[in-house]
Amino acid sequence: MAAETERESDGLAVSPLNARLSPEERKAAPALFRALLAGQLLHALGERRAGKILAAARSALEIEPCLRIDALDLVDAQTHVPVKKVAGPALLEGAVYAGGTRLTDRVRLG
């Protein structure tokens, strides 16, 4: 099981890559975490279908014009195999580009 992600005060995952971000990109970057939280909240409210959870995260992320979505996945927490329905512990993972910098993050479901 992965360790808890260390975060900046605004939710951005701590990474040396953050230093590459322009001020505008740095301001936009926490939107990745917020989008993952939207999917996590939907799951906490009872949604188990991966498509719905991923759509919520994607919708939340698409409102930030400084970020370009590279990947959004919902995978089994143990096997890292994509799931269609959350039946146990899972990870909602995302990757975005902020300019030329690729940022990644994930949250646990269940």
Flag whether 5 is in a domain. no
Q: Work out how many domains the chain is built from and give that number.
A: 1
Flag whether 13 is in a domain. no
Count of alpha carbons within 13 Å of 83, Cβ hemisphere only?
A: 22
Flag whether 30 is in a domain. yes
Flag whether 60 is in a domain. yes
Question: Mind listing the pLDDT tens digit of every residue in the chain (110 residues)?
Answer: 456 789 999 999 999 999 999 999 999 999 999 999 999 999 999 999 999 999 999 999 999 999 999 999 999 999 999 999 999 999 999 999 999 999 999 999 98
Residue 42 Cα to chain centre, angstroms = 13
- CATH number of the CATH domain containing 44: 3.30.1300.10
Domain span at residue 86 reads 20-109
Flag whether 9 is in a domain. no
Q: Are strands 90-98 and 67-76 parallel, antiparallel or unpaired?
A: antiparallel
Flag whether 81 is in a domain. yes
